[in-house]
Amino acid sequence: MSFTVIIPARLASTRLPNKPLADLAGKPMIVRVAERAALSGASRIVVATDHPSILEACAAHGIEAVMTRADHPSGTDRIAEVALALGLAPSAVVVNLQGDEPLIDPALLAACATRIGANVPMATCAHPLHDVVDAFNPNVVKVVLDKAGRALYFSRATIPWARDAFAQSKEGLPDGYAPLRHIGLYAYRNDFLQAYPQLEVSPLETIEALEQLRVLWHGHPIAVHVTDAAPAPGVDTPEDLARVRTHFG
């Protein structure tokens, strides 16, 4: 399947200033992310940014980048602007890869993209949780699926709730129970991506602080690719950056 990867990258970061430009063995992080994306088989890789410093860094390493408005409320709105500017067809598949994922598995991008179809305008990924701490951590977003592998609901709560087992103990996960952790990687059919910013904000996403619930609330399906292993974590803090730097040597 042909797909385009668009990588939103804002210079401002509360916990890690100038994060996209952080040095990883001689290259800015945003360049490392684009290089990983290029291994996915994508037909095009484009960085969507609001700052000329990122644009210049990408140009210096042969990475296509596009300037966007600075006032987008989310990365999804930013990539929608770029997909429109690129003149992508309504049926084109666009993968939204965060600019702080320099260790992302390229195969995951391709797997997510392949879940898009005529009746499935959006896709994402998940993996099973085996740690009870993660299962009860509200910062670890969970998702439950239907028979066809489409999302029924996303939540910060522990879903599905193992009623009988948890009534006995919450010290461990019961046998055969592995809730799915949502991975924040998305693919869209471009016509839906263009319509998305106009969707009314839903009460569910406001309560849970999960933007993807807007899609379900409006009745649009989200296909979910389930992978066995957790992806390498992204970079949010100086500690994360130090850990990733050891990988690049």
pLDDT score at 90: 97
pLDDT score at 17: 85
CA distance 106 to 112: 10
pLDDT score at 143: 98
Give the residue extent of every domain in the chain. Answer: 1-104+234-248, 118-231
Among positive and negative, which fits the CA dihedral 42, 36, 65, 51?
Answer: positive
Give the CATH number of domain 118-231.
3.90.550.10
Per-residue buried b or exposed e for 197-228, using 16+ beta carbons within 10 Å of the residue's own CB: eeeeebebbeebebbbbbbbeeebbbbbbebe
User: At a CB cut-off of 8 Å and minimum separation 6, what does 174 contact?
Assistant: 162, 165, 166
Give the CATH number of domain 1-104+234-248.
3.90.550.10
pLDDT score at 245: 94
Could you list the mean pLDDT of each consecutive 10-residue stretch along the chain, which spans 249 residues? 94 83 95 97 96 96 94 86 96 96 97 96 98 96 98 98 96 96 97 95 96 97 96 91 89
**Exposed/middle/buried for 248, CB within 10 Å: 0-12, 13-18, 19+?**
middle
118-231: same fold as 1-104+234-248? Answer: yes
pLDDT score at 75: 80
Q: Any idea which residue has 């500017």 for tokens?
A: 85
